[in-house]
Amino acid sequence: MCSHAALGMCSGRWLCVVVFAAVAGWAAVAAAQSPAVVRVEEDWELVVATPDAGSTGPQVTCTISPRPDLAGLYGTFEINHRSLPSFQPGGLQVQTWNGEQPVAQSPGPASTVMSTAGETVRWTQVMRLAEGRVVFEVVNGTSTTWGSFGGQGYLKLSVPTSLTNLNGYSPEVSVRNSGVGFAGNRVQSLVLKRVRYQLSNGMVLEDGTARVVHQP
């Protein structure tokens, strides 16, 4: 988990999808270097056992970075709390950070606190390059507490970057820096279900390895 509070569409226009095993993993993509990775999608699933609305538990944060670390720019997605600019209970929020410094935040429209036992929340975190900017966005979200969320532009941030590719991305960085920051005993599981990489030539590579971030 990060030291501070703190982040799938498979479009028909993409030319093809290649599913590769975990043993091949991202190493094969990174080694090639050309064509470049221009978009990454992470499919996440959170299963809550017994939430506590009174204490705003649980509080979950998922991180995605274009680098193999968190030394530069990266994005986070907060669930059931919003830590910027000051802590607020409930709701959803996307943030961008530069190392330990917050850059920007964009909350969802609902501030409801989780209270439904056995709730499952699913969403896709997207990181993509667009005309000298890196875009962090949450799409295809489903939940009991907030209904459908993401894809409408409110859980989306775009920041300038000098990066020309996302080849430095690693799902292991996402896993290491994501988790349940509060009331972990109230979470049944938090899993990064799969990852998709879109290359500059239109090809899409899918890694179907399920990576468990939290499981009591």
Mean pLDDT of 9-24: 38
Per-domain residue ranges for the chain? 42-190
pLDDT the model gives residue 98: 97
pLDDT the model gives residue 51: 98
Judged against a pLDDT cut of 90, whether residue 11 lies above it is answered with no
Residue 177 Cα distances to 1, 6, 57, 74, 149, angstroms: 4, 8, 19, 11, 23
Q: 6 falls in which pLDDT band (50, 70, 90)?
A: very low
pLDDT the model gives residue 64: 99
Contacts 24+ apart (CB under 8 A), 70-73: 70/2, 70/97, 70/99, 70/173, 70/177, 71/99, 72/98, 72/99, 73/97, 73/98, 73/103, 73/134, 73/159, 73/161
pLDDT the model gives residue 5: 38
Judged against a pLDDT cut of 90, whether residue 84 lies above it is answered with yes
pLDDT the model gives residue 33: 52
| Residue-level length of the chain | 216
State the distance between the two ends of the chain, measured CA to CA, in whole angstroms: 16
Judged against a pLDDT cut of 60, whether residue 30 lies above it is answered with no
Judged against a pLDDT cut of 70, whether residue 67 lies above it is answered with yes
Q: 210 falls in which pLDDT band (50, 70, 90)?
A: very high
